[in-house]
Amino acid sequence: MKKDIDIPEVENVYVAAVKVYNESFKVDEWNAYLINDRDEAIEMALIVSKGYDNKKETSVIRHKLEKLPSKSFAKIEFIQEEVLALNNQFQVTFFADGKMFEKKYLFRKNTVNEKALREIPIIPNKGVLAE
């Protein structure tokens, strides 16, 4: 039964939106990153993302990371400016210490912007952490 499955609380794993300069296209762009600030690696990270509000919904996008070493980060996806006007949800599931972890991260609509940039774990650039 679903109620019998123990899914421990996720700690020190974050999703962040970071504005970076794209050398190929010579523009600043927003990218979503998975940050592992744990002391151990996480394995088989599955990330399901979507944007939505009351009237619009984006396609569901799925990503997989085989392994993310401790104290590191990996790019999940590019985020289009138009999508930032929607709620952006990232559901992250991964394995660590022989257990499965799961958490939903949310960027509320219009909260990813230049004024919201802050220091974030591991990544040297400023960004916005998802709730």
**Rounded CA gap, 110 and 107, in Å?**
8
Q: Is residue 96 part of a domain?
A: yes
Does residue 8 lie within any of the structural domains?
A: no
pLDDT digits (tens, 9 = 90+) for 103-116: 999 999 999 999 99
* Parent domain of 94: 13-122
The CATH number for 29's domain is 2.60.40
pLDDT band for 27, please (50, 70, 90 cuts): confident
**Is 4 inside any structural domain?**
no
pLDDT at 1 over 60: no
Q: What are phi and psi of 116, to 5 degrees?
A: -90, 0
Number of folded domains in the chain? 1
Note whether residue 111 is domain-resident: yes
Residue 72 lies in a domain: yes
**Distance (Å) of CA 75 to CA 37, 46, 53, 81:** 15, 13, 24, 17
Please give the single-letter amino acid code of residue 5: I
Cα gap 65→93, rounded to integer Å: 10
The answer to whether residue 6 sits within a structural domain is no
pLDDT tens per residue, range 2-24: 666 777 899 999 999 999 988 88
pTM: predicted TM-score of the whole model, two decimal places = 0.92
Residue 27 lies in a domain: yes
Which tokens hold the place of 69?
């070493």
